[in-house]
């Protein structure tokens, strides 16, 4: 078990099995030392935990939790590509898609759930650039979708 996986367990979380794609794509693609991990929604044990629009059906705090669980699934996708998460030298970029109405303005607070998880898991190597923005809808009505780019050794 990698040090990263031990840290996840210490946080009281469990790294899920890598999500199986529902269409013609793969969980992650490695190009030289960069790993591009496909977007994930907050699914745990096959169940979508947070469904609906942030600011309408769900609170900003719900969105934060949704982003955290989606990021955990992204880390599982990263592991599927690299085998050992200790190979990660840096999380380069995180993108957060927030299912929200046009009036909702706190997208960064929602995506902080993903950023905080990644920083807590990877330490300084988890400091990353980021984009957080609202979208009209997401697959299955998910509240949030997260993807990332990582640099590996």
Ranges of each domain in the chain: 3-16+25-152
pLDDT tens for each residue of the chain, 153 residues long: 899 999 999 999 999 988 788 788 999 999 999 999 999 999 999 999 999 999 999 999 999 999 999 999 999 999 999 999 999 999 999 999 999 999 999 999 999 999 999 999 999 999 999 999 999 999 999 999 999 999 999
pLDDT of res. 119: 98
What is 3-16+25-152's CATH number? 3.30.1330.40
For residue 42, how many C-alpha atoms fall within 13 Å in the half-sphere facing its CB? 24
Cβ density class 136-147: b for 16+ within 10 Å, e for less = eebeeebbbbbb
**Paired residues of 74 in beta bridges:** none
Q: pLDDT tens for residues 61-87?
A: 999 999 999 999 999 999 999 999 999
* pLDDT for res 23: 82
Q: Is 87 left (phi over 0), alpha (psi -120 to 50) or beta?
A: alpha
Q: pTM (2 decimals)? A: 0.95
Look at residue 18 in the predicted model and tell me its pLDDT.
84
């Amino acid at each position: 078990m990698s040090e990263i996986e031990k840290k996840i367990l210490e946080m009281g979380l469990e790294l899920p099995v890598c999500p199986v794609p529902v269409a013609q794509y793969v969980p992650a693609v490695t190009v030289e030392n960069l790993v591009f991990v496909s977007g994930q929604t907050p699914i745990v044990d096959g169940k979508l935990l947070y469904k609906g629009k942030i600011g309408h059906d769900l609170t900003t705090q719900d969105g934060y939790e949704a982003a955290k669980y989606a990021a955990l699934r992204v880390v599982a996708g990263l592991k599927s590509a690299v085998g050992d998460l200790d190979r990660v030298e840096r999380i380069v970029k995180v993108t957060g898609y927030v299912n929200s109405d046009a009036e909702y303005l706190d997208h960064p607070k929602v995506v902080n759930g993903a950023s905080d998880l990644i920083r807590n898991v990877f330490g300084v190597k988890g400091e990353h650039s980021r984009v957080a923005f609202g979208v009209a809808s997401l697959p299955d009505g998910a509240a949030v979708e997260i993807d990332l780019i990582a640099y590996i050794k």
